[in-house]
Amino acid sequence: RVIRFADETSLPVLAALTDDNRIYALPQRDLMELVREAEELGVSPLALIEKEIAEGAAPVGVPLESLTLLTPLDAPEVWAAGVTYERSRDARNYEATGGKLDVATFYDKVYDAERPEIFFKSTAARTVGPGQDVCLRSDSSWQIPEPELGLVIGRNGNIVGYTAGNDMSCRDIEGENPLYLPQAKMWRRSCSIGPAVRLAETVADPYRFQIACRIYRNGELAVEGTASTGQLKRRFDELVSFLRRDNDIFDGTVLLTGTCIVPPNDFTLQDGDRIEIEISDIGVLSNTARKLVP
Ligand code: DO4
Ligand code: MG
């Protein structure tokens, strides 16, 4: 895995995190620089990291928990796919129809259509990393986190790695009118990614990631859900290919792949709730929800 942390002068340091939790500071400034360098050398990113470690990359002498982790990369853009799991389709139908689950909607249509739903979710400036606050909108009273697997993509559409992401969402704004989707999805600090990027070449089967979401209120577990990327309706390369149709993407773009865990319909996030999103082989992304202070 690859992480970034802040050094004592608050500058970002790129580091490799081994499965037995050893950490090595890498000379590259960020993940995509490492990927480009590996391309130029004709080796894989993992092979380049192994070479750096063999040639003396500095071991970081403190445990992971005591580092100030940053977003694992400055994703220039974060896009998101929607209604890619049955659970998301059913939750959206509930919002849009006031609970009349037998009514067919555009969510049913998009779930079955050839073209997936893909929307613009965030920019680097709106995206936070592990341990940072995500914001709650002041004009919504039905807000949830959406735990999602994120694909880290290179400019040519190659999947470099996988991370965890939170597509914070306002169910009331989206349910009122689908044209309000951008407002239901994008505001200050409405997206988080991290804590690490698992290099794609180290993943045998990306349809076997286990995803868990836990929400703590006043230190007590209030909501818990689990799912697997095996339940995804689409293929990851299919989502990437639609994102790239007649579109330029930048190195390090993140594509969130949709949520498969939705809290109960009577749940809304409150100021101070701590959200944990755990994805197997990636790690735990933890953020606290905070009301926006103008
Ligand atoms: O249709 C709206 C958004 C869907 C979404 O974000 C998801 O399924 O994760
Ligand atoms: Mg989503």
| 103 has pLDDT over 70 | no
> Angle at which helices 45-54 and 31-41 pack, to 10 degrees?
90
Domain identity same for 129 and 247: yes
pLDDT tens profile 38-66: 999 999 999 999 999 999 888 998 999 99
- What tokens were used for 6? 């802040």
* pLDDT at residue 137 in the model: 96
| Residue ranges around ligand 1 (CB below 6 Å) | 80, 82-83, 88, 92, 117, 146, 167, 174, 258-259
The residue ranking higher by pLDDT, 198 or 90, is 198
Q: Are residues 58 and 149 in the same domain?
A: no
Beta strands in 137-219 (DSSP E): 143-144, 147-153, 159-167, 169-170, 191-199, 210-217
| Cα four-point dihedral sign 62, 133, 270, 187 | negative
81 CA distance to ligand 1 centroid (A)?
A: 7
Picking from 182-191, 204-213, 284-293, which range would have the lowest pLDDT averaged per residue?
284-293
pLDDT band, very low/low/confident/very high, at 101 (cuts 50, 70, 90): low
**Same domain as 269, residue 195:** yes
Neighbours of 214 (CB within 10 A): 18
Mutate to test the pocket of ligand 1, among 105, 108, 167, 257 (most ligand atoms within 8 A of CB): 167
100 Cα: distance to centroid of ligand 1 (angstroms):
19
State the alpha helices, DSSP H only, in the chain.
31-41, 45-54, 86-97, 106-112, 171-176, 181-185, 236-244
Q: Regarding beta strands 159-167 and 143-144, do their DSSP bridges make them parallel or antiparallel, or are they unpaired?
A: unpaired
Asked if 283 and 137 sit in the same domain, the reply is: yes
Are 37 and 114 found together in one domain? Answer: no
Confidence of residue 102 (pLDDT cuts 50, 70, 90): low
- The residue ranges of DSSP E strands in 209-252, in sequence order, are 210-217, 220-228
Is the pLDDT at 98 greater than 80, yes or no? no
- For 99-113, b/e burial (b = at least 16 CB within 10 A) is eeeeeebebeebbee
Give how many domains the chain has, as a whole number.
Answer: 2
Please report the pLDDT score of residue 151 as a whole number.
98
Mutate to test the pocket of ligand 1, among 92, 94, 118, 256 (most ligand atoms within 8 A of CB): 92
Average pLDDT over residues 176-185: 96
**pLDDT over 90 percentage in the chain:** 89
Give the Cα separation of 4 and 283 in Å (integer).
Answer: 14
Per-residue pLDDT of 285-294, as tens digits, reads 999 999 976 6
Q: What are the φ and ψ backbone dihedral angles of 252, each rounded to 5 degrees?
A: 90, 15
Q: Do residue 170 and residue 274 come from a single domain?
A: yes
